[in-house]
Amino acid sequence: MSSAQQNYRRVTACRICESTNLRRFLDLGEIPLVNRYVDPTDREEEETYPLELLYCLECSLSQLSIVVDPGILYQNYLYRSSISRTFTAHCYDIAQHAVDRFKLKQTDLVLDIASNDGCALREFGKFGLRIMGIDPAENLAQIATDLGTPTIPAFWNVESATRILENHGEASFINAMNVFAHVDNLDQFLIAVNVLLKETGVFVIEVPYLLSFVNQTEFDTTYHEHLSYFLVKPLIKQLEKHNLTVFDIKQHTIHGGSIRVYVRKAANKSIPVDSQAVQSLLQLEKEVGLHDLATYLNFSKHVMKVKTDVLDLLQKLNSQGKVVAAYGASAKGSVLSNYCGINNNLVRYVIDDTPEKQGHLTPGNNIEIVPANYLQTQRPDYLLIFAWNFAKEIMEKTQEFRNTGGRYIIPIPNVRVI
């Protein structure tokens, strides 16, 4: 594998406050792009990229040290949100809460930015709302449109926002789940939101929460798609630059711990600000040391322990003649396995229910991705759950494996067998 300097730029200033006072606190080495699954019939030299996290001493944003060309990251994207029933149910709850709280009507336009295969939009559609998606992955936009959720194959920016405004009018509700952390130019993103959002509209950002990332050693959710790792403090700073006001924040357990940030235009005083919800998280971040560099410098120690513990366990089990497979050919699984040096000598294969991933090899360590019937045809003794954020759902759907003596390995926040 070779390092691909030509496909990325190095970060020299903070994306939010432009400070150059950035300190590296995590270095996972040279890691391949985690959603670039390998076609075994068309193998080519895989590229690796430095995977490091920097902490901004000015505004407390954590961010990758490089920005990979998004055209390379998202041109043909195999990740599908709707594979998980847990996530689909989460999206239904989000849609119901939005309709109830903001009295959304059937004439209201709901836009989902980075709408993937239409998973969240279909849940909003169940309430009879006008729905529209936008996603740069042409393969996903086509799947979503074919499933009845109209999706524009494009990146979210002022040009695409203007096109939607001209063709469909202003949006009453703009949903941005698992995309705001993926964006390099946050100013352009928010200028586009202001173009399309009604004066009385609501904009919601859902991102993984850095508090959970640090507290639960979720280092494997560091990958080249995730440019920013948010706390409430830098998020508010970025939004205020564009006259956008946070009026509520909810914590969710999804994806290892996320925050759902409710935003309105500053001029729209019709929606009161829940100061307690906002201030309590800002206070919590400060109290647990997330606004201090020292907390981050201590993080790598916990990462190293996960690496040594998972390797020791896999090597012990294999030396005992046990067969270990994995479940969830996830981005986080690719980071964990490449960082720890896990290959098919230690993990025989990876099960994934995403049809488009089956038959491919995982990036970098090239472990075969197979359907769930391998649990019967090539039954393992242990299942390492790479998609630990969905461990409950995966264990529920593999009851037969469990009932016939199969055991699970959960790697995060600490390696354990259940």
Binding site for ligand DWN (CB under 6 A): 79, 83-84, 178, 225, 255, 328-332, 352-354, 357, 387, 389-390, 393-394, 397
Instruction: Give whichever of 118 and 201 is closer to ligand DWN, judged by the CB atom.
Output: 118
The least CB distance from residue 333 to ligand DWN, in Å, is 7
Instruction: Give whichever of 108 and 206 is closer to ligand DWN, judged by the CB atom.
Output: 206
The least CB distance from residue 279 to ligand DWN, in Å, is 28
The least CB distance from residue 206 to ligand DWN, in Å, is 10
The least CB distance from residue 256 to ligand DWN, in Å, is 8
Q: How many CB atoms lie within 10 A of CB 288?
A: 13
Backbone Cα Rg of the chain: 21
Instruction: Give whichever of 217 and 330 is closer to ligand DWN, judged by the CB atom.
Output: 330
Determine the Cα–Cα distance for residues 220 and 360; give it in Å rounded to an integer.
21
Determine the Cα–Cα distance for residues 5 and 351; give it in Å rounded to an integer.
32
Nearest partner of 232 among 211, 252, 213, judged by Cα? 211
The least CB distance from residue 272 to ligand DWN, in Å, is 31
Instruction: Give whichever of 312 and 396 is closer to ligand DWN, judged by the CB atom.
Output: 396
Buried b (16+ CB within 10 A) or exposed e, 394-410: bbeebeebeeeebebbb
Name residue 252's beta-bridge partners.
258
The least CB distance from residue 255 to ligand DWN, in Å, is 5
Instruction: Give whichever of 365 and 389 is closer to ligand DWN, judged by the CB atom.
Output: 389
Determine the Cα–Cα distance for residues 187 and 193; give it in Å rounded to an integer.
10
Angle between helical axes of 299-319 and 331-340 (0-180°, round to 10): 80
Instruction: Give whichever of 314 and 375 is closer to ligand DWN, judged by the CB atom.
Output: 375
The token pair at 174 is 């703009």
Determine the Cα–Cα distance for residues 379 and 407; give it in Å rounded to an integer.
12
